[in-house]
Chains A and B, each alone.
Chain A
Amino acid sequence: MQRISSENRPSTSPSQAQILWRCFGYLRPHWKITAGAYLMMVLIDAVAMINPQLIGWAIDHGLEADSASSTGSLTLAVGALLVLVLVKGLFTYFQGRWTEVASQNVAYDLRNELQRKITQLSFSFHDQSEAGDLLSRTIQDVERIRFLTGRAMFRVIEGSLLMLVTAVVMIVMNPLLGLMALLALPLLVVQSISFGRVFRPLSVVIQKQLATVTTRVEQNLRGARVVKTFAQEEAEIERFEAENRRWFDLSATAARLQAVNMPRLHLIANLSSVVILWYGGTLVINGQLTLGELVAFTTYMAQLVSPVRFLGMILPAISMAAASAERIFEILDTVPEVHEEPGAPELLERLAAEKRVCRGHIRFENVAFSYGRHASILKDITFDALPDQVVALLGPTGSGKTTVVNLIPRFYDPSAGRITLDGVDIREVTLNSLRAQIGIVLQETTLFAASIRENITFGRPDATQEEIEAAARDAQAHEFILQTQKGYDTPVGERGITLSGGQKQRIAIARALLTDPRILILDDATSSVDSETEHLIQLALERVMQARTTFVIAHRLSTVQRADLILVLDKGRIVASGKHADLLTASPLYQNIYNQQLKRGKG
């Protein structure tokens, strides 16, 4: 089972470095601009190192009264300052833009890969996963990786570099004073680390709690009708407030931590600059240091501590990004349970190789199936659906009808036995070529929030208006579509909310018919359609059914009794099979159903 664990794995997991490494692998295609950006960074830092020197130099040399040379020095310093900042601005622009381009491309590639993977993962994956979770991985988690591979990494390297160089320069300028300034560093680092250690887990909890609150709202809205029906508004409010309250309590704790952290870092930096002022001032009084050097020193001091503060914010962000990366790679590394053999041929090619065409002969041979750890759902299913036959599946709720037909397009793979199409094991050909031969109306109607036309043409976007209308007519949908406000261009609302149950189903039928499949599967496709309309649909289908194998699941006997083969399922086994007349005598279960629906009706 491809269950996604929602928990973050411990950050100590040995692979964290590997995970980060893998993230940076996504920069590889963009290595040129990345390298360019880092080059710019070095240049920017070089400029940053010169600035304080210039100011200090200007104060020491440019302020002597009346001397022309002092005015000259001053002008020189000021001019150099301006030129340097212009140059630096240029570097900053390119550095910023290139970093951005590279990291946005990383996000772009990752999102494409994720979307591709998500649409390819099998039904069993989607049974277990939650849409909100997949979305937040593709949007927020990728965003964190983007931050990591972009500005975060950049700032880490830049900050470390700047700190290192600043420290060296300070020590060279005045070893003692320099060392005193460096004393602040360990304190800042300790504060940052201890803050991160408390804050990071807390922020994870807060995010989770926020997600819980969001889910509460979402579930409440989706189930609005149910909430109203059962007059549970008050209870829902109570539940919401409990979660909301918990979120507040957590956030208040976080606020307290945060409120202290930054000011504390500032305090450490400020206090050490006071120390510099006092000690440096003493040195100036002693004549061991010039005033200009002291001013330059305080400027360097600010430069020295600013990356530390930034690192304090960025280090937690990096480990959060690692957690995000893990969540992303978890999906990317999931092997779809249903997958093609490497080099599998197209179905039609494969048949053509044997000089055959697809006729639609489906054969189940001792097929068994179970959903994950569940007990076996299907056992020993064997039957033959000959080309152009209508095969009906009948049986109690939960007996496995949907499960049987879901195996034909390989939405799931059997755990034992095999299924063949025209003698070819369906696992030996590509998925798309197999599914191209199959049209299916799923039991649960899923419409897209788009126009009726877009919904019908989903499987064949190039269909002409005539073809669309023909399919809609066969599905008995044409008439009601014309009665809607904008006809085929009427939007259907979120999940088709503004259509009646039967209207949705008929659009889904039209969608399947339009692809003109060799094999048609109708999984309880007319359960919300009245018998009259259903009969008309059947007539239309009969016209076109001649050239296709059809599987019909239905609970209404009137729907199934004309089938060429009726399979009666019970608890995952075929307990009887044959035509209507045979079953009436051979199968007690079928008899019962028949009595239930027909005989008593006549009596």
Chain B
Amino acid sequence: MGFGIGVSSPGMGPRGIIEQFSGGDNQRGAAFNRRVVVRLLAYLKPYKRPMLLACLAMLVVSGLTLLTPYLLKEAVDQYISQGDRAGLAHISLLTAAAFAGLYLATAGQQYLLAWVGQRVLANLRSALFRHLQQLSLGYHDTHIVGVTVSRVMNDVATINELLSQGIITLLGDTLILVGIVVIMLTMSPRLALLTFIVLPLMLGVTMWFSSRARVAFRETRTRVARVVGDLAEDIAGVRVIQAFGQEDSTQERFTQVNEANRDAHINAMTLSFIFLPAIEFLGVLSTAIVLWFGGRAVAADEITLGVLVAFLSYVTRFFQPVQELSRLYTTMQSAMAGGEQVLKLLDSPPEVQDQPEAGEMPQISGRVSLDHVSFRYRPDLPEVLHDVNLMIEPGQTVALVGPTGAGKTSIGNLIARFYDVSAGMVAIDGIDVRTVTQQSLHRQIGLVPQDSFLFSGSIAENIRFGRPQASDAEVEEAARLANAHDFIIAKPDGYQTRVLEGAANLSVGQRQLVCIARAILTNPRILILDEATSNVDSMTESLIQGALRKLLQGRTAVVIAHRLSTIRSADLICVVQDGQIVEQGNHDELLERGGAYRALYQRQFSG
């Protein structure tokens, strides 16, 4: 009944949590979904043999569990009351042997199940991870990282519980239950039926509890998710919180969600504290019934004392599987919800997909053309690019300038085929980018994104990201070209300096330099620099440009920048406005034309 969140689920965004849990809410009441179960069961297929073995062990366990009280009865009836010492010793040995067998079978069963469960868990996670690698950026725009992480880590774990333990428990407990019923009936039908009187009561109480508990425990999960979400936001925005002196207001908000969480948990647990005594009462009630009626029967010599003793012990055992099964029902509900979510993720098709007959992109020489391209990020969002035409010759450096939000980044995204165009065509060397595999395309394109993301790990690892086999010398060379070498070696650990979370220990410009080095190292045929030096001073920038010019000889480059000095020497400058290219030409031509570019230029250099 702890928190339904894995031991480490860093970086959960609040919306994500809410979505995750409201996602779960949609599954309300669906305690059993054939389709989900069938699909999930398929993951057990490769492990038929261990599962069968576990089933066998389970049969042994159930049999022995049923046998031991019977042996007890025999001991009392046949030997103790008859004064048969040798027989008593004999049956004691037999019981001991039964317990030893029980030990072996239980251990075997548990091990096999846990092994298969863990295996399936690992396999499912791999499958999800693989699938995530195929999903396009559109997926990441609309899904919170924390939620997806929790799909892969937590939801999968709930399924596992059901798949491995659940099925066997279900079988085993049902078997034991049936067995006990049969044995009780054969030993003394009257006493047995009397015992079963309690059963409907038990069922009623359990059902009442399950329905209440489902609501109450779902509430606790939502509440704790809010706590996590709220705190995650506070941590992510802690610098802003302090800068704006909002510590108190965030504390107030947190106290509220924290309080709601506490109360939800107390409520849910209180239910349990009603349920448990109620079940215990019913258990004792049936013991009392057995004792009273059985006692009368023994007195009347209708049954033996041994039967009574065995009955008392069967009655206690009878309620264990009943409780197990009702617990299983709750597990099943969350597993179903988790399963649905996992399958949904597995089934979500990548928006950008390799065509079945897609071939490898041949060595790119660098002609890029956008032919009447229109684009929107999602069908329900407004169009951001309208009928864009652009022709880049191999070896050209093309600059995209224009107001913020005009669509420059979006054009870069389309050339690298992170998204597919809504209309028109993007072609490289005359080949429609949709007809080649994404990997073969990406391998030849280097992109420095506008937000410089670095992984946590050493600086060297980050630079090496696109080419893990690169030698130290190559890494250093790339860093030099990007003008990052000097600052890196000035750090106490040089290239082995750890990049902290959010790259907090690098200045923003330094992060950009590392990103540039990372792109250079892969030696791309087409380089896209999206504001790659916006936070870098112009001296450093011009050094980088000098280095790049040599490097880019014969290669195509797309440069997006606001600082016009960055792009002045470009072969072609395109002014993007409101999702359209409104002017094209080189620096001088555009100045002469006296249009948008000139206005931008004068603004910047009017100093």
Contacts and interface: CB of A to CB of B under 8 A. Distances in A.
Given A231-B439, A601-B565, A270 B80 contact: no
A274 B92 contact: yes
Interface stretch (A11-19, A93-101, A157-165, A384-392): A93-101
B262 A108 contact: yes
Contact of B513 (A260, A397, A431, A530): A397
Nearest to B136: A228
Given A78-B291, A237-B130, A530-B600, A229 B445 contact: yes
B132 interface: yes
A332 interface: no
Given A229-B442, A277-B92, A535-B603, A127 B85 contact: no
B605 A62 contact: no
Contacts of B353: none
B403 A259 contact: no
A207 interface: yes
A446 B239 contact: yes
Most chain B Cβ neighbours within 10 Å, of A131, A230, A237: A230
A214 B404 contact: no
A373 B492 contact: yes
Nearest to A598: B605
Given A71-B296, A136-B10, A449-B15, A396 B539 contact: yes
Interface in B3-17: 3, 5-16
A89 B278 contact: yes
A530 B13 contact: no
Most chain B Cβ neighbours within 10 Å, of A282, A436, A442: A282
A70 B300 CA distance: 11
A8 interface: no
Contacts of A108: 258-259, 261-262
Contact of B299 (A55, A65, A233): A65
A96 B276 contact: yes
Interface string A253-264: 001101110111
Contacts of A95: 273
Contact of B110 (A219, A247, A258): A258
Contact of B273 (A92, A123, A237, A291): A92
Given A93-B277, A230-B442, A458 B246 contact: yes
A592 B241 CA distance: 38
A597 B236 CA distance: 36
A435 B242 CA distance: 8
Contact of A498 (B149, B305, B377): B377
Given A274-B92, A396-B539, A397-B487, A260 B443 contact: no
A579 B33 CA distance: 74
Interface residues of B, number: 190
Contacts of B518: 230
A541 B40 CA distance: 60
B114 A255 contact: yes
Interface in A147-169: 147
A133 interface: yes
A366 B266 CA distance: 57
B269 A96 contact: yes
Contacts of B606: 558
B403 A530 contact: yes
A344 interface: no
Given A277-B92, A506-B404, A88 B456 contact: no
Given A221-B140, A532-B600, A267 B99 contact: yes
B111 A256 contact: yes
Contacts of A288: none
Contact of B504 (A126, A225, A505, A580): A126
A71 B141 CA distance: 77
A598 B13 CA distance: 44
A444 B110 contact: no
B111 A100 contact: no
A197 interface: no
Contacts of A90: 277
A223 interface: yes
A74 interface: yes
Contacts of B538: 555, 557, 593, 596-597
A119 B449 contact: no
A contact face: mostly helix, strand, loop, or mixed: helix
B348 interface: no
Given A118-B235, A374-B492, A446-B237, A74 B296 contact: yes
Most chain B Cβ neighbours within 10 Å, of A228, A291, A411: A228
A371 interface: yes
Contacts of B12: 135
B242 A411 contact: yes
B473 interface: no
A528 B83 contact: no
A104 interface: yes
A415 interface: no
A57 to B, nearest CB: 11
Contacts of A465: none
Contacts of B88: 278, 281-282, 285
Contact of B129 (A120, A132, A237, A444): A237
Contacts of B68: 270
Most chain B Cβ neighbours within 10 Å, of A64, A131, A600: A131
Given A111-B258, A449-B13, A255 B96 contact: no
Most chain A Cβ neighbours within 10 Å, of B227, B259, B278: B227
B605 A601 contact: yes
Given A59-B308, A88-B280, A446-B240, A597 B565 contact: yes
Nearest to A54: B291
A274 B84 CA distance: 16
Contacts of B502: 444
B564 interface: yes
A435 B244 contact: yes
Contacts of B9: 132, 135-136, 214
A207 B39 CA distance: 29
Contact of A220 (B13, B115, B132): B132
Contacts of B562: 502, 527-531, 534, 556
Given A82-B288, A135-B12, A221 B149 contact: yes
A217 interface: yes
A101 B266 contact: yes
Interface in B475-505: 487, 490-492, 500-502, 504-505
Interface string A438-474: 1010111010110000000011010000000000000
Contacts of B203: none
Nearest to A602: B605
Contacts of B321: none
Interface in B450-476: 450-451, 453, 455-456, 465-468
Nearest to B292: A78
Contact of A59 (B269, B295, B377): B295
Interface stretch (B166-174, B190-198, B528-536): B528-536
A435 to B, nearest CB: 5
A218 B145 contact: yes
Given A395-B537, A555-B538, A281 B80 contact: yes
B107 A263 contact: yes
B11 A271 contact: no
A222 B145 contact: yes
A58 interface: yes
Given A65-B299, A111-B227, A112-B258, A501 B450 contact: yes
Contacts of B126: 237, 240-241, 244
A271 B102 CA distance: 11
A263 B563 contact: no
Interface stretch (A137-145, A182-190, A354-362): A137-145
12 contacts: A65-B299, A118-B235, A119-B250, A121-B238, A247-B122, A274-B92, A281-B76, A374-B491, A485-B381, A494-B145, A528-B450, A532-B599
Which 5 A-B residue pairings sit nearest by Cβ, starting from the closest? A132-B10, A502-B404, A397-B509, A89-B277, A255-B114
Given A214-B8, A264-B107, 4 more contacts: A128-B500, A133-B10, A270-B102, A557-B538
